[in-house]
Amino acid sequence: MRSPIRRRHVALAALSAGILITAGCGGKVSGKEAPDARELFLQTAGARGPDPFTASTAAPASRSGAVPRGKPGDTSAARSAAPDDVAASAARMARSLPGSTPGLYGGKRSRSSCDVERQVRLLTEDRGKARAFAKGAGIRPASLPSFLRGLTPVVLRADTRVTNHGFRGGSATSFQSVLQAGTAVMADDRGMPRVRCACGNPLRPAVAVQGAVAHRGAKWHGYSPGRVVVVQRAPAAVGGLVIVNAVDNTWIERRTGTDGDEDRVPDVMPPYDADADITDPDAVAPPGVPLPDDPSGAPTPSDPAVPTPSDPPSGRDGTPPPSDAPTGDTPPDAPEPSEPPSPDDPGLPPEGDLYPPMPDAQQTSIGLISPETYQS
């Protein structure tokens, strides 16, 4: 529960702007407010969330051991935030990291976190959902099966900001969301999370937020706006992702478009330990960026142990994914009439830069559609 000190601080800030706002977890907002006011929905790892596209295709134990003890999203060593903790987290900013960053994702060796083939069946058996999913994902409907089979099932290792989508009234609706660490997702060959397996929803890059937002949904123990990651597209397609083995905190290279059956030890190890805090700039650096305490000052190898193949990865069915699948660009012949498709990297800062913190107040957004019946 938010502390009285925190509530007084937010109220004073709102009054100074001439607007009276009441913001809370899952509560209503009163006072002068635009109908499309900015909201950030918090979604726990296993919850289906608002307006799911499909039943869950996440593996039952995909979250188990996915987050090192004491890291964001971990509930085993968490405690309620004190006022000083809130102030400290507000001073720290959310990280923006390329999808090729080693340790951004986790998993278990030779085990998939999502049932990709079931996800294909659930979406393709309903043409309306297939069309809505394709529009939300920015692909052509005919490309949907090969698009999904070209993705890599992994698990988020940090609370992660995304543009999420729901299925309501036969169409895809979009909303800004934070997915809890431990959430099973499918990532593309640029390291971008593209599908949330617990609900089958398509994911797109987060929209940059300036100023305050209202949090919706129940905050989990350990959640802090300053410990959230925003994933950027890697500058080039990668042949695999270097992930953390959730069983023993060792490194695994998972080839793009595979379910874990080709997992192997990376040829070149990342320059930090597998259990390093992915949200800490002093502990983890993007590929090609030296760590602050690196005495040599030499940059780390770019995309270690994940050489980019000359040909795109073939995926599960042996056929290359369509050219439009990994980019996420909405095709020119299928524009969104009511909600212009966002680019792959809308307003995101350069890799390694930091996002501003997001306090619990209210700010008007641009073109945001929020679910009307959100359940945490």
Report the 3 state secondary structure along the chain. Answer: CCCHHHHHHHHHHHHHCCCCCCCCCCCCCCCCCCCCECEEEEECCCCCCCCCCCCCCECCCCCCCCCCCCCCCCCCCCCCCCHHHHHHHHHCCEEEEECCCCCCEEEECCECCECHHHHHHHHHCCHHHHHHHHHHHCCCHHHHHHHHHCCEEEEECCEEEEEEEEEECCEEEEEEEEECCCCEEEECCCCCEEEECCCCEECECCCCCCCCEEEECCCCCCCCHHHEEEEECCCCCCCEEEEEECCCCCEEEEECCCCCCCCECCCCCCCCCCCCCCCCCCCCCCCCCCCCCCCCCCCCCCCCCCCCCCCCCCCCCCCCCCCCCCCCCCCCCCCCCCCCCCCCCCCCCCCCCEECCCCECCCECCCCCCCCCCCC
For residues 209 and 160, the model is more confident at 160
Q: Are 355 and 95 in contact (CB under 8 A)?
A: yes
Q: What is the pLDDT of residues 270-283, one digit of tens each?
A: 999 999 999 999 99
> So where are the chain's domains?
37-376
Give the mean model confidence (pLDDT) for residues 300-324.
51
pLDDT at 127 over 80: yes
Instruction: For residue range 146-182, list pLDDT tens digits in order.
Output: 999 999 999 999 999 999 999 999 999 999 999 999 9
Residue 31 has pLDDT above 50, yes or no: no
Report the pLDDT averaged over residues 291-308: 54
Indicate the pLDDT class of residue 360, thresholds 50, 70 and 90: very low
Whether pLDDT at 72 is above 80: no
